[in-house]
Structure 1
Amino acid sequence: MTRFEGYAALVTGAGQGIGAAVAHRLAAEGARVLVTDRDAARAGSVAAAVRDGGGSAEAHGCDVTDAAAVRAAVARAQEAFGGLDVLVNNAYSCHRDPDRFEEWEEAPWYEDFEVTLHGAARCARAALPLLARSGGRGAIVNVGSVNAEQHFGDHAYSAAKAGLASLTRTLAVESAPRGVRVNLVEPGTVRTDVWRDRAAMLEQARAHYPLGRVGEPEDIAAAVAFLASRDAAWVTGVSLPVDGGLLVSNLAMNRTMAR
């Protein structure tokens, strides 16, 4: 498929995991991709891998908590590609909950918001003028989480992702007259490096998914590609769960009641 032939895309937090998979997927479908990450070396590795696979990609170090760095990344996309058609806000921060809510400290709580919610807002603010000039194919895809919908722990991360879902809806309405669509995917548990040292926990999580497995980064990348493409030309403001059926099930309760 070449749904993104002639497109330029910027992906944040693309040095590994879901972001890297998105970069590979968009490039495989013809996009020129600016791979950004706070760790410039990781971004460089992913961009090199994309090129090795026959795709077009450049790397750029970008900390989404730094407004100047965000503006520089968008400017780099314009310089390298002549414009911007797709922004994928994937960068996030997630600190684990302390034993009690009142034990949360200010710094980690606010970092989750600064990266996950405010970072996405900074990127959208910087990218929108270019997206609005992309001839009606401008799209923002935010990477949210099922944590925005139900309790799965991680208070700050979950609240930030819920805020991102709300921003998606409000920004979709404002951006529509300019020909820019804004949507969000909500992944469930996805096999990324975050789980590298928790393989047993990941296996336990599998049992809660009706489709019988946890997600892979490529599952999320496929949904992002759909929402970013003209296949979703009449779709905006949606939060799309990509979660193996997790949100529509309660397998643990069902199994308890069936005993």
Structure 2
Amino acid sequence: MSNVTQRFEGYGALITGAARGIGEATARRLAAEGARVLIADVNDEAARKTAADIPGAESFRCDVGDRSQVEAAVAYAVECFGSLDVLVNNAYSCSLDAPLIEDQSDDSWERDLNITLTGAFRCARAALPALAATGRGAIVNIGSVNGEQDFGNHAYSAAKAGLASFTRTLAGDVASRGVRVNQINPGTIRTPGWAGRDAEMARLAETVYPLGRVGEPEDIAAAVAFLASRDAAWITGTTLRVDGGLLAVNMAFPAVVEAR
């Protein structure tokens, strides 16, 4: 990425679930703007591979479901970079729904909430002292349109909705310490989780997305970079939709009306 403003020169950033997809794109974007980034992921091999391809990046195996691993990741970031200025909570779990809600297991429900929602809490709790110490700390949580509207996945959707609430309450709690907290709600993004489903992606782009395409990881990375930067210095407690117009425009309704 050439001719990019160096908004994050001297910054240290920790990104969870950063070995691939949105997390990887975000790491590349922040690094391109001057940050040193810690690729934190439960997949240690993939994290090391991604970090090796990003100048100045480090990797760390981190399961956000484990408090000790989260605290170790934060300590490692501070040790490597001298400060921690940005935390991006991107790690998540999304279990398949059972055909009937009464058949949904406690384990799948609890895993999605533990990783997606409580994991973000663990990371924020561990990182806040370091973030507050810089005077420019920012947390960006990666939510989902699933937290606002029904697209299936009960537990994942509940966790993402809870994450939006946590974003607001945490923003109020830490504002006096100079830390901002915001959230991004992506729509369908072309990540490895959608691999092999090109036909579905094409139908989604044509039938439900007003802008005529699904999102790319770089679309979310650009939004993260804005909210984490001083360009957003007077923004906190907000949730930004980056969804191609999905939730704002009902494409099915006018199609039916015009067909009458």
TM interval, shorter chain, is over 0.9
Per-residue CA shift, 1:66-97, capped at 9, x if unaligned? 00000000000111111200000000000121
Q: How far, CA to CA, are the matches of 1:130 and 1:235 in structure 2?
A: 20
Question: Moved runs in structure 1, 4+ residues, more than 4 A?
Answer: none
Per-residue CA shift, 1:128-161, capped at 9, x if unaligned? 00000012x1000000001111111111100000
2:38 is the alignment partner of 1:28: no
CA-atom RMSD in angstroms: 0.7
Superposition pairs for residues 222-237 of structure 1, below 5 Å? 222-237=222-237
1:41 maps to 45
> Where does the alignment leave 5 or more consecutive residues of structure 2 unmatched?
none
Superposition pairs for residues 1-259 of structure 1, below 5 Å? 1-51=5-55, 56-135=56-135, 137-207=136-206, 208-259=208-259
Report the Cα offset of residue 197 of structure 1: 2.1
Counterpart code for 1:164: L
SS in 2 for 1:69: helix
Could you tell me the TM-score, scaled by structure 2's length? Answer: 0.96
Deviates further, 214-223 or 144-153:
144-153
Report the Cα offset of residue 100 of structure 1: 1.2
Per-residue CA shift, 1:106-132, capped at 9, x if unaligned? 111111001100000000000000000
Counterpart code for 1:157: Y
Q: How far, CA to CA, are the matches of 2:254 and 2:147 in structure 1?
A: 23
Identical columns (%)? 62
SS in 2 for 1:186: strand
Q: How far, CA to CA, are the matches of 1:104 and 1:200 in structure 2?
A: 29
Q: How far, CA to CA, are the matches of 1:257 and 1:197 in structure 2?
A: 34
Could you tell me the TM-score, scaled by structure 1's length? Answer: 0.97
Counterpart code for 2:178: G
Counterpart code for 2:165: S
> Where does the alignment leave 5 or more consecutive residues of structure 1 unmatched?
none
Report the Cα offset of residue 253 of structure 1: 2.1
Aligned length: 254
